[in-house]
């Protein structure tokens, strides 16, 4: 019904609530090039401007940067924390190297920027974006970016950000804009997103780059950290028995275990059930301090979420229970990638014994 309304040019009304949850996100999660075209067609119909479709064809084939060094470089947030750890941080790292005298500005919300708050090169330009907001609210947030990024001799790098609706809404002159279409780049490979982003940075800016985080220092070294967050996707979760068994197994090995309580609601209720009566500590608060604690950990365990990516880029031994993904390509792109030892488990039926065996192996 939504697609029919778009094609017919009818107002979306309440149907707009379906657009992101049932169309945009599944199209993105599939990492199929043809779905990039479908998404661009749908957004063109929604926005009512065919010129945007023509422009998208041009900016999706980004050209190597040959202009002089910019005074300021704006890097757009991917909005979700895990994507900012894997993709946005790689862009930030490469641009710091490529333009040592430029101001590097992270454009997004403060919660995400705090993952880089201890890096003196990274400034914040706040750009609110309500992931749960109405379609009009999201489009207005995208259009408002143009005034926030209006600086002389500036470069804007867009790593497939929701802030521009994945490149569809212009935020600056295209000559000083570079767009990384992460959903289609090197589609014939099984490389994870961090490696793809690094490859794109070499292609466009002729610079090596790596994923990283730099939160303000917090916590203590040598602990084990656990996150039961699933990023609002219950398909990633196993069950109460698994979560209780995971934490029991870690606590039984004389580890000091710290469990993130999450953002409240259902996740915090699950954590409370899982740790009841166990000799563990808990963390409550923003994600960046917990990310700092993960970075110092002896071991990290959790579902497919931002925590696994922090552990991976910091070289922390990690166990990820990675289930509920949309397609095999989704797994290829999002599985944790980094220098440390890691165990990625995909079998729901044997998740607990496999996790216990992985704990033994990594300690």
Burial class (CB in 10 A: 0-12, 13-18, 19+), 81: buried
pLDDT at 1 over 60: no
The mean pLDDT of 146-166, rounded to a whole number, is 95
Give the Cα separation of 323 and 197 in Å (integer). Answer: 24
At 93 the pLDDT is 98
Q: Which of 65-79, 121-135, 157-171 has the lowest mean pLDDT?
A: 121-135
H or E stretch covering 343: strand 342-345
What are the backbone dihedrals phi and psi of residue 209, each rounded to the nearest 5 degrees, phi first?
A: -150, 155
At 9 the pLDDT is 52
pLDDT at 14 over 70: no
pTM for this predicted structure: 0.94
Domains of the chain plus CATH, in order, are 2-59 (no CATH), 72-205 (3.40.50.2000), 224-362 (3.40.50.2000)
pLDDT at 13 over 60: no
The mean pLDDT of 180-203, rounded to a whole number, is 97
The mean pLDDT of 203-226, rounded to a whole number, is 97
The mean pLDDT of 83-91, rounded to a whole number, is 98
pLDDT per residue as tens digits for the range 90-128: 999 999 999 999 999 999 999 999 999 999 999 999 998
What are the backbone dihedrals phi and psi of residue 337, each rounded to the nearest 5 degrees, phi first?
A: -135, 125
- Compute CA distances 75 → 93, 158, 160, 216, 343, whole Å: 11, 6, 11, 20, 32
pLDDT at 40 over 50: yes
Burial class (CB in 10 A: 0-12, 13-18, 19+), 135: middle
- Compute CA distances 354 → 107, 249, 302, 351, 360, whole Å: 40, 12, 13, 5, 10
The mean pLDDT of 303-326, rounded to a whole number, is 97
Give the Cα separation of 106 and 127 in Å (integer). Answer: 9
User: HSE of 41 in the Cβ direction (CA atoms, 13 Å)?
Assistant: 10
The DSSP string of 262-303 is: TTSHHHHHHHHHHHTTSS-EEE-S-HHHHHHHHHT-SEEEEE
pLDDT at 131 over 60: yes
């Amino acid at each position: 019904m939504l697609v029919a309304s778009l094609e017919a040019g009818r107002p979306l009304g309440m149907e707009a609530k379906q657009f992101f949850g049932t169309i945009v996100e599944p199209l993105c999660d599939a990492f199929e090039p043809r779905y990039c075209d479908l998404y661009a067609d749908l957004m063109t119909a929604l926005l009512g401007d065919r010129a945007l479709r023509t422009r998208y064809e041009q900016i999706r084939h980004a050209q190597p940067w040959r202009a002089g060094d910019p005074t300021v470089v704006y890097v757009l947030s991917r909005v979700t924390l895990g994507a900012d750890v894997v993709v946005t941080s790689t862009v930030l790292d490469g641009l710091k190297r490529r333009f040592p005298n430029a101001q590097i500005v992270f454009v997004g919300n403060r919660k995400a920027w705090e993952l880089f708050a201890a890096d003196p090169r990274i400034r914040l330009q706040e750009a609110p974006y309500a992931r749960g907001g109405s379609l009009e609210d999201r489009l207005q947030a995208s259009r408002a970016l143009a005034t926030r990024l209006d600086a002389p001799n500036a470069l804007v790098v867009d790593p497939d950000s929701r802030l521009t609706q994945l490149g569809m809404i212009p935020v600056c002159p295209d000559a000083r804009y570079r767009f990384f279409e992460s959903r289609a780049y090197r589609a014939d490979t099984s490389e994870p997103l961090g490696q793809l982003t690094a490859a794109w940075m070499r292609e466009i800016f002729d610079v090596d780059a790596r994923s990283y985080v730099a939160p303000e220092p917090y916590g203590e070294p040598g602990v084990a950290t656990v996150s039961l967050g699933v990023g609002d996707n219950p398909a990633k979760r196993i069950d109460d028995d698994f979560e209780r068994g995971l934490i029991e197994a870690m606590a039984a090995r004389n580890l000091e275990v710290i469990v993130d309580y999450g953002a409240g609601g259902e996740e915090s209720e699950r954590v409370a059930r899982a740790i009841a009566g166990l000799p563990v500590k808990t963390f409550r608060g923003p994600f960046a301090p917990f990310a700092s604690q993960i970075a110092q950990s002896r071991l990290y365990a959790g579902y497919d979420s931002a925590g696994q990516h922090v552990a991976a880029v910091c070289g922390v031994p990690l166990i990820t229970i990675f289930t509920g993904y949309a397609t095999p390509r989704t797994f290829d792109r999002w599985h944790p990638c980094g220098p440390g030892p890691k165990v990625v488990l995909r079998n729901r039926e044997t998740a607990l014994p496999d996790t216990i065996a992985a704990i033994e192996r990594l300690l």
